[in-house]
Amino acid sequence: MAHGLDFESVVARYYEPLYQFAFSLTRAEADACDLTQQTFYVWATKGHQLRDPAKVKTWLFTTLHRGFLESYRRQTRFPQQDLESVGDELPAISSPLANQLDSTQVLRALAQVDEVYQAPVALFYLEDCSYKEIAEILAIPMGTVKSRIARGIAQLQKLLADDFSTPEWTRPEPSE
Amino acid sequence: MVYRPGTADATDPEFVEALAVARQDPELHRWFEEHCATHRAIRTRFKEIAAPDGLKGQILSEFKMRRAMVWWKTPIEIAAVAALILILIGAVLWFRPESEAPEGVNFATFRGRMVAAVLRNYRMTLETADAREVRAHLAQNNAPANYTVPASLERLPLVGCGLLSWQDKPVSMLCFRSGKPLEPFQKSDVFLFVVDEKAMPDPPHAKAPEIRAVKKFVTASWTADGKIYVLATEGDEALIRSYL
Query: What digits encode the pLDDT tens for the residues A16-30?
Result: 999 999 999 988 888
Q: Is B177 on the interface with A (CB under 8 A)?
A: no
Residues of chain A in contact with residue B43, where contact means CB-CB under 8 angstroms, are 125-127
Rounded to the nearest 5°, which phi and psi values hold at B235? 150, -155
- Burial of A105 from C-beta contacts in 10 A (0-12 / 13-18 / 19+): middle
Residue of B9, B33, B46, B56 to mutate, interface with A, max A Cβ within 10 Å:
B46
pLDDT of residue B101: 44
pLDDT of residue A130: 87
Q: Give the number of beta-carbon pairs within 8 Å between A and B.
A: 100
pLDDT of residue A24: 92
* Half-sphere exposure of residue A160: CA atoms within 13 angstroms, side-chain side: 29
Query: For residue A129, how many other CB atoms are within 10 A of its CB?
Result: 20
Tell me if A15 and B2 make a contact (CB, 8 A cut-off): no
Q: Which residue of B has its CA nearest to A94?
A: B38
Burial A43-60 (b: 16+ CB within 10 A, else e): bbeebeebeeeeebbbbb
Residue of B42, B47, B60, B71 to mutate, interface with A, max A Cβ within 10 Å:
B42
Angle among Cα A7, A140, A15 to the nearest 5 degrees reads: 20
pLDDT of residue A83: 41
| Number of alpha helices (DSSP H) and beta strands (DSSP E) in chain A | 8, 0
pLDDT at A1 over 60: no
Q: Is A90 on the interface with B (CB under 8 A)?
A: no
Q: Is A12 on the interface with B (CB under 8 A)?
A: yes
Q: What is the pLDDT of residues A119-161, one digit of tens each?
A: 999 999 987 788 889 999 999 998 899 999 999 999 998 888 8
pLDDT of residue B214: 87
Residues of chain A in contact with residue B60, where contact means CB-CB under 8 angstroms, are 7-8, 11
ipTM: 0.78
Residues of chain A in contact with residue B48, where contact means CB-CB under 8 angstroms, are 102-103
Element (H, E) at B196: strand B190-196
Q: Is A23 on the interface with B (CB under 8 A)?
A: yes
Question: Mean pLDDT in chain A?
Answer: 80
Residues of chain A in contact with residue B7, where contact means CB-CB under 8 angstroms, are 127
Q: Is B77 on the interface with A (CB under 8 A)?
A: no
Q: What is the pLDDT of residues A88-128, one digit of tens each?
A: 444 567 777 777 888 888 899 999 999 899 999 999 998 77
The tens-digit pLDDT sequence of chain B (244 residues) is 888 888 888 888 888 888 888 888 888 888 888 888 888 888 998 988 999 888 888 888 777 766 665 555 566 777 887 888 888 888 877 776 554 444 567 888 889 888 887 876 678 889 999 999 999 999 999 999 999 999 999 999 999 999 888 888 899 999 999 998 888 778 899 999 999 998 888 888 877 899 999 888 999 999 998 999 999 999 899 999 999 8
Question: How far A91 CA lies from chain B's nearest CA (Å)?
Answer: 8
pLDDT of residue B98: 52
Distance CA A58, CA A130 (A): 10
pLDDT of residue B175: 95
Residues of chain B in contact with residue A131, where contact means CB-CB under 8 angstroms, are 1
pLDDT of residue A17: 94
Q: Which residue of B has its CA nearest to A40?
A: B59
pLDDT of residue A20: 94
Distance CA B16, CA B28 (A): 15
Residues of chain A in contact with residue B47, where contact means CB-CB under 8 angstroms, are 20, 126
Question: How far B31 CA lies from chain A's nearest CA (Å)?
Answer: 10
Tell me if B46 and A105 make a contact (CB, 8 A cut-off): no
- The model's pTM is 0.52
Q: Is A29 on the interface with B (CB under 8 A)?
A: yes
Query: For residue B89, how many other CB atoms are within 10 A of its CB?
Result: 10
Spatial contact of B224 and B207, defined as CB atoms under 8 Å apart:
no
Q: Is B13 on the interface with A (CB under 8 A)?
A: no
Tell me if A95 and B7 make a contact (CB, 8 A cut-off): no
Q: With bands split at pLDDT 50, 70 and 90, how would you rate the model's confidence at A57?
A: very high
